[in-house]
A and B are shown apart, each in its own frame.
Chain A
């Protein structure tokens, strides 16, 4: 059974930092891109970042570029999101989601078939 379990959320002051983790099990973690997706209060879903299987490619939504860093440890089946310089507008539930198993630039796949339960991040003074 595929499982994704996030942790690391909490309350932080503006300008502060948090590191989110996602523990994966039940599938070959190293064969998949992985993503973070968030949902702010009263707002829709927003893709935040993703990372390729071999960490050679990482992409971010414009609003977090330069502040957030996505990483992974395939040996530990874990995904991470380091969030620095946090702002009020980063307040959201953050979900870890399995992305595609594509490994070539021209490949496309059906992403986000599995999601974690989410972890709450609150940025407030």
Chain B
């Protein structure tokens, strides 16, 4: 089984300040095609999950460039350059490398405004 461990689990941030979330995998997420299938999702209260980043660092359409993803192998990071009130929610990483037998999500990181 693949485990994704996120940190921190709670992230209070002042408006306008940066935020960073770590996601560590129990196994390498590099696939045989050379790609790494690690996605990031945002879950706002009362809304459906929204994919922000796919394959480590590719922003989905409509996602502000304040959001960026990086990392390789087993260590990945989601960064928000300047937190806005709209960013409040829970952020999840998810691996799709070890598919289709199952996708794995991290535990989630709750971002709140300080």
Residues of A within 8 A of B (CB): 33, 35, 37, 39, 44-47, 50, 52, 57, 59, 61, 95, 97, 99-100, 102, 106, 108-113, 115-118
Q: How many residues of B contact A (CB 8 A)?
A: 31
Residue ID in chain A nearest B32 by CB atoms: A106
A110:B102 contact, CB within 8 angstroms: no
Given A44-B107, A47-B105, are A110 and B48 also a contact pair (CB < 8 Å)? no
Which B residues are in CB contact (< 8 Å) with A112?
39, 41, 49, 51, 94, 103
CA distance A61 to B103 in the complex (A): 9
| Among A33, A57, A106, A112: residue with most chain B CB under 10 A | A112
A108:B54 contact, CB within 8 angstroms: no
**Distance of A30 from chain B, by nearest CB (Å):** 17
B96:A108 contact, CB within 8 angstroms: yes
Residue ID in chain A nearest B96 by CB atoms: A111
Given contacts A110-B54, A110-B55, A113-B54, 16 further A-B contacts (CB under 8 A): A35-B103, A37-B49, A44-B90, A45-B94, A45-B105, A45-B108, A52-B100, A59-B102, A100-B99, A109-B96, A110-B51, A111-B39, A111-B96, A112-B103, A115-B49, A117-B48
Interchain CB contact (< 8 A) of A44 among B35, B50, B106:
B106
Which A residues are in CB contact (< 8 Å) with B51?
110, 112-113
A45:B43 contact, CB within 8 angstroms: yes
Residue ID in chain B nearest A107 by CB atoms: B33
Interchain CB contact (< 8 A) of A59 among B49, B101, B106:
B101
